[in-house]
Structure 1
Amino acid sequence: MKNLKTLLFITLLSSSLCLTAQNKDTKKADKEFARFEYVDAAESYKKLIDKGDGSSYVYGQLAECYYNIFNSVEAEKWYAKALESGDDPEMIFKYSEMLKANGKYEESNQQMEKFASMRPSDNRATAFRKNPNYLPKILEQGKKFNVQDAGFNTAQSDFGGVVQNGKLYITSARNDNRKTYGWNEEPFLDIYTLTKNSDGSYQEATLMNDKINTRHHEGLVSFSPDGETMYFSRESYYEKDYEKDSISKVRYSQLYLFKATKLGNDFDNVESLSINSENYSVKNPSVSADGSTLYFASDMPGGFGKYDIYKAPINSDGTIGDPVNLGQKVNTEAQEMFPFISSNNTLYFSSNGHLGLGGMDVFYTKEIDGKLAPVRNVGIPISSNGDDFAFTIDEEAEEGFVSSNREGGQGSDDVYAFKKLQPLCDVLIMATVLDDKTREPVNGASVTLYDAEGNKVVTKATNEEGVAEFIVECEQDTELEVVMEDFESKKVPVKGSNEEELAVQISLDPIEKIVTPEAIVLNPIYFDFDKSNITAKAAFELDKLVQVMNKYPELVINATSHTDSRGSESYNQRLSQRRAKSTQQYVISKGIDKSRISAEGKGESDLKVKCGSSCTDEEHQQNRRSEFLIVGGAPQNQK
């Protein structure tokens, strides 16, 4: 993928390389491929095809060239040709990625189904089988951010975006004084700083000193909380650690992590970290807000995929402890990179192994009570069908940066500034409404979502499966109210959760055919002290009354309203009349003819609880009520 190219932060793996020439005819192209010269290699492989070499090997290598420079259209074309006579699972997975990057979601899913059948235990396969219709959910979840070009991109690769002490640090190939690298003919990468103007624009980027930048690649940076220590990536060529392939004559370097300490206004005293090894790469540093933990990506042995995300303690003396793999909840058989741990300990990272939109998407999770919450896709427009990586955010200011090679940019990779518009973490509540007697789904039931303060949020009707879906913010308590003709209404509290999906089953009791008037249960409603307005709880009970009156059109009701014993008798009489009137008006507002409900205020003359001056608040509440009596049109025995 192209973002991997810009960082050189991937050691090319045997699954996507063949360092030994397939035959003497492919030797030149294979050598260019092994040297990461994908543009030249692609031309050489195409010449072989023009000469009649239509082998699956050549098609596959050509597809890999375009895959590595993220030419998704050409990669799709040649993967399709290679797979006409081959069935390599990893190639099928990459083909699926390219189809998805080109917006061919249905075809991509077909290839993922094929991949899943070949590797059923692969995490990528099990995630897809569990949620094959994931794409609409990611698209619907999106647009929680406003994303704009950061304003300082060039025609070369620019990526990153870490703010420290008023300076923005990025990585860029804009230095024309550096020699170019064969992968894409761009200069080697350096670290730059930019200063923001008062109008929001940025001043010209400044190259960091030669203690930080060398003639080799340097990459993303992160800082200790006090800003005195900077961690960054660099090629191991600087340490003279590399291997030379005997066939291709290519020198293979690893990526190492370094730290530099502040000296005056600049950084110096560069040291290689103890977790570096000539046998694998470590890269993409991110320091936790308390400075105690270093997160990074590595292809060290023992991981789950090509690159995994690890964390390691930063000891009090500045040394780094033993790395710990974040496990299969985060890491897949593909690649997870570019970790960023935010101030509220949310871990953001990029992956092409979790379910996404194509290429590398941005995902996030958070440790809660010692366990990682489900990994979620940030969604559009942060994630796109290109490669999206190097996500950073200031959680307090709700703004940050993300890098991408999406269409419409200035160069091969660009930095985008974003502003968060809505809370990121959410839960899909799937409410299923059933008939309590038959256990059949109830179609067309009205389901209303209320927030923790009792405010109505939205109302939806259940579908043929009895399901209504709502998206709410994580860890927020809510309540669902279900209303359906011929059923008793019901309210169900929903505890806040961090799960990606939460299933809630609600069983409604049918309103039975009634034998006698006494069998109709009409619950009273209650009023706040010295108030006559209908509360949300009272409205819920009155809606039940309306349901019964709709079911039995001849039914006539008398509502009597009461007060507690506080206040004068005359005042209480007037207050009860107001309560009776508001009760009656609510029922009429729901479509019940006014001739079918009368209302009478009884003041304090008929106390439910006679407790005098020693009444508790609860006892006073029981007296502040409206009650209902059937006075006409009672249903007869209908059995």
Structure 2
Amino acid sequence: MMNLYTYLILGLLVTIPQLSTAQEKQLHKADEKFEQYAFVDARKIYLEVAENGYTSSDLYRRLGDSYYFNGELEDASKWYERLLSEYEQEVDPEYLFRYAQSLKSVRRYDESDQVMEKFNALTNADTRASNYMSSKDYLNFIELQSGKFDLVKLDVNSKDSDYAPSFTNQGTLVFASSRFGNSMTKTLHEWNEMRFLDLFSSKIGEDNSLEAPEKLKGRINTKFHESSTSFSKDGKTVYFTRNNYTKRRLKANSEGTTLLKLYKGTLEGDKWSNIEELPFNGDEYSVAHPALNADGTILYFASDMPGSKGLSDLYKVAVHEDGSYGTPENLGDLINTEGRETFPYISDSGRLYFASDGHVGLGGLDVFVSVPEEGAFSVPYNVGRPVNGPEDDFSFVLNEETKIGYFASNRNGGKGNDDIYSFKQTDELITSCKQYVKGTVLKKSDGSIVADAEVVLLDNNNQEINRTRTDTFGAYKFNVECASSYIVRALKEDYKPTEKSLVTTEVLEYSYDVPLEIGDSLLEVKEVNEGDDLAKLLVLSPIYFDLDKSRIRKDAEIELQKIIAALKEYPQLKIDVRSHTDSRANDAYNLALSNRRAKSTIAYIIKKGGIDPSRVTGRGYGESELVNSCTNGTPCSKEKHQLNRRSEFIIVKK
């Protein structure tokens, strides 16, 4: 990708031991080129030194960076691999991230994930690491997201660099290109030996192809970089990116590097004039890639201005009716990472599309979308293949009415360094957390399928959310919320019901497989007698109470629902609820407490289950029937005392 955006990632001058004076001079010259972002010139010298058999961590680091920051990730991966295999203890963890990104360019995703695990272990506070750790199944999500765009190659591309498309109100597409101008050849840019960029426009044809481009007229193009435009709805105002070049004067920062600024121009006739800098630019940081919202009241852009989280962050600024501007606001940690967030675009519906290498993707820059939520933007969603791939994919724009859009990529198979691609969106993107629970209901005894079984989905409060019946294959499925707790229960007449708990994650798109096995009969015993404890027959977990409490606990509710299911399936069944306490406190108090617990249990069964009160009796027994030796005055652990705080369900009629 054409490195229009200045990345402030350069380190100290390299030092390589055991070199001759001539080689030291070569490397010093290369270092100077590198510090000036002349990556291609520096690379030639570094390669010559490496080919002569000299090695060091700095040499490998610089070689890798010279490819990485020109978007040549496959070549970068080779040098980062040598760097980390020979000098892993000497390099900054940032190189683990760059290596992981580079590995994706050659589709070595498993190895990339392993490197990201190491990166996370060393920098677990890094947003890029936490994004990876919370999205380890990112390839599955991207697979679900993929296939929603049909791509078309465009003949308008040149052998140089073409990117940053934007729509006008005149049915044209404006983009940046380093192709030859009509009247002069622009100087080669030493970062990557490509010509400087100008702005061109092409009429959009009926088949979304682009006609022969023409350079924008007026004072908008100069002999330096112009790129990434955004136009007002009436087409009379343009915001664009340019090198720090105002009134024919080129400015540099304190280190001698010319950065980027945002400019504004107005249309007079067919020419752009009145070019002026925006007031929040600065000589010591870059501001680039403007994107107006639909009504022109907010301008989004990318910058590494003070307060930025990463190499470039996304910002917004209010555009007032009188032409003044508010204070730029960072879009925050959901959007910005320690990496590169750049090339924002705001659709008419307010969706934010942008390119990032800090969020988890397929390699290089990927395109992401965030939807507006209560004055902010949601977590970003990767838009999937074929827009995204192992290389750099960026500057995405979309007409939501026609579903036609354009973006740029340096992927293989293009005409030049970067090419513009057209696309038609064929399906809606996944832009919310969607999860499912599915499974099969089976007979526990022989594993056979149980068709027409009722499956109930309950929330953490045991309240029913949804229910369904299994199909002829015994299968069921529910939609569930992310980061929530559920109970999935299977019921069928003459079978013992069963259930499983489920806690969902925050993974954007995921399906949980929860098989359910139901017993051959409700009680699964040959003979049930009066006086049997229904809790033991149903293999219930003990129904415990907190110390000195009679409130039904959440864990007890699950077990009481099984008692309710048994009472519903066997209408003639009657039970006697017997509640017990431990020996702590005096006998009279414990008797009263156990009576309250019995009443609480009976009330729950009757109210929650809709059971006839005549079928459920009970009382408290206090500490009169302890299950262990923890009597008055006997030292016992909390766990042993809790065994006595229980309820029993004795069958009085079957």
3-state SS of paired residue (1:252): coil
- Correspondence list, 1:227-626, <5 A: 227-238=235-246, 240=249, 242-243=251-252, 251-424=256-429, 425-431=431-437, 486=495, 500-501=508-509, 512=522
| Distance in 1 of aligned mates of 2:474 and 2:70 | 47
Shift of 1:375: 1.4
| Structure 2, unaligned runs of 5 or more | 18-23, 457-465, 500-504, 529-568, 570-653
| Distance in 2 of aligned mates of 1:114 and 1:242 | 41
Contact 2:437 2:514 in 1 (8 A): yes
Contact 1:19 1:34 in 2 (8 A): no
1:56 paired residue number: 57
1:35-80: CA deviation from partner (whole Å, max 9, x where unpaired): 3332232221111123332111111111111112222222111111
| Distance in 2 of aligned mates of 1:460 and 1:151 | 54
| Distance in 2 of aligned mates of 1:372 and 1:33 | 37
2:124 paired residue number: 120
| Distance in 1 of aligned mates of 2:125 and 2:207 | 53
Aligned partner letter, 1:255? L
| Distance in 1 of aligned mates of 2:229 and 2:7 | 20
Q: 1:87 aligns with which of 85, 91, 112?
A: 91
Shift of 1:281: 0.9
Identical counterparts, % of pairs: 35
| Distance in 1 of aligned mates of 2:121 and 2:473 | 37
Shift of 1:398: 1.2
1:524 paired residue number: none
1:175 to 1:344, Cα distance in 2 relative to 1, 3 A: same
Contact 2:218 2:273 in 1 (8 A): no
Shift of 1:174: 0.7
Which TM-score applies when normalising by structure 1? 0.69
1:489 to 1:205, Cα distance in 2 relative to 1, 3 A: farther
Deviates more, 1:165-174 or 1:258-267: 258-267
3-state SS of paired residue (1:183): coil
1:317-376: CA deviation from partner (whole Å, max 9, x where unpaired): 122210000000000011100111111111111100001000000111122223432211
Q: 2:224 aligns with which of 212, 216, 219?
A: 216
2:105 paired residue number: 101
Deviates more, 1:251-260 or 1:132-141: 132-141
| Distance in 2 of aligned mates of 1:348 and 1:207 | 27
- Correspondence list, 1:61-210, <5 A: 61-83=62-84, 84-85=86-87, 86-165=90-169, 166-175=171-180, 177-198=185-206, 200-210=208-218
3-state SS of paired residue (2:48): helix
Shift of 1:427: 3.6
Aligned partner letter, 2:39? Y
1:633 paired residue number: none
1:47 paired residue number: 48
Contact 1:188 1:215 in 2 (8 A): yes
| Distance in 2 of aligned mates of 1:338 and 1:254 | 16
2:5 paired residue number: 9
2:560 paired residue number: none
Contact 2:398 2:406 in 1 (8 A): yes
Contact 1:11 1:281 in 2 (8 A): no
3-state SS of paired residue (1:327): coil
1:594 paired residue number: none
Contact 2:343 2:355 in 1 (8 A): yes
1:482-508: CA deviation from partner (whole Å, max 9, x where unpaired): 978757799xxxxxx998358999998
| Distance in 2 of aligned mates of 1:406 and 1:42 | 22
Aligned partner letter, 1:512? L
3-state SS of paired residue (2:97): helix
1:159-210: CA deviation from partner (whole Å, max 9, x where unpaired): 1222212111011011252121112222110000111334543321000124
The root-mean-square deviation of aligned C-alpha atoms, in Å, is: 4.3
| Distance in 2 of aligned mates of 1:400 and 1:367 | 20
Contact 2:197 2:225 in 1 (8 A): yes
Which consecutive segments of 4 or more residues in structure 1 shift more than 6 A? 19-22, 432-435, 442-449, 458-463, 467-472, 480-485, 487-490, 502-511
Aligned partner letter, 1:13? I
1:319 to 1:428, Cα distance in 2 relative to 1, 3 A: same
Aligned partner letter, 1:275? F
Number of corresponding residues:
495
Shift of 1:33: 1.9
| Distance in 1 of aligned mates of 2:489 and 2:434 | 18
1:265 to 1:489, Cα distance in 2 relative to 1, 3 A: farther
Contact 2:16 2:58 in 1 (8 A): no
| Distance in 2 of aligned mates of 1:309 and 1:461 | 50
Aligned partner letter, 1:286? A
| Distance in 1 of aligned mates of 2:49 and 2:254 | 24
| Distance in 2 of aligned mates of 1:203 and 1:404 | 20
